[in-house]
Structure 1
Amino acid sequence: MSTTTLPAQFAELEQWVADWARPTRQERYDMRLSKKYDQLEEFYDAIAPRAEEAIDYLNGRDLTDLADDDARLLQLLYSMILVSYAVNVFMQPRIPDSGAAFFNTTAEPAV
């Protein structure tokens, strides 16, 4: 019997949890930079069609007190948003023409 770490109706997204259900923006960004563009596209193409359904599902939850499986689903959505720029705008993992520039997140949102 397999163990799922997402709500049951999102079980087909389970393969993305290990890489993309990251608790901080910096971890999600670092993961984006570690992947090849085609891997980002594959992740985005898997998550994006389910995004509205996932948002509707999470809107029915108390975001200040999420169960672990719900929190991982939210983290996948956060990663999808971060990856969407690379896939839909930049067409590469890095921000074009940014050279060695970087930014550090000093605070994470409450949710």
Structure 2
Amino acid sequence: MTTTTGALLPEKFSVLDSWVADWSLATRTERYAMRLSKNIDELSAFYDAVAPLAEEAIEYLDTLDINDLPEDATRLLNLLYSFILVSYPVNIFKQPRIPDSGAAFFNNVVEPAI
């Protein structure tokens, strides 16, 4: 991973900087735990902030080498992963947990390869 000047996100996505601390998490386990720690209003606010920029962010990331992302781009990628993880609760479930699933959860032994 290449180092950058310390910007949280690439400049054109800096409007999302305030979401980095909570949502730019390296693993699915961390992202899922964050999702469960938030209420639906908090999830919706995050979703609504990222949604208008999601396609442009994907297009931007597609121009980079996934194996050598700068730190700011890695944070953006992790933010998009969190965005995807909260899309079902926001758009379908209307709650952080999957309805009628009790405490069911699958733990990953390793993160999927990119």
Q: Give the TM-score normalised by structure 1.
A: 0.94
Correspondence 1:99 to 2:97: no
For 2:18 and 2:91, locate their aligned partners in 1 and report how far apart those are by CA, in whole Å. 22
Deviation per residue, 1:36-68 (Å, 9 max, x gap): 100000000000110000000000000011110
Q: 1:68 aligns with which of 68, 71, 91?
A: 71
* Structure 2 runs not aligned, ≥5 long: 1-5
For 2:99 and 2:62, locate their aligned partners in 1 and report how far apart those are by CA, in whole Å. 34
* 8 Å contact kept, 1:86–1:95: yes
Deviation per residue, 1:5-46 (Å, 9 max, x gap): 100110100000000000000000000000010000000000
- Cα offset, 1:109, TM superposition: 2.4
Give aligned pairs, total.
109
* 8 Å contact kept, 1:4–1:14: no
Over the residues paired in the alignment, what is the CA RMSD in angstroms? Answer: 1.0
State the SS of the aligned residue for 1:39. helix
* 8 Å contact kept, 1:20–1:75: yes
Correspondence 1:33 to 2:22: no
Aligned-pair identity (%): 63
* Structure 1 runs not aligned, ≥5 long: none
Q: Give the TM-score normalised by structure 2.
A: 0.92
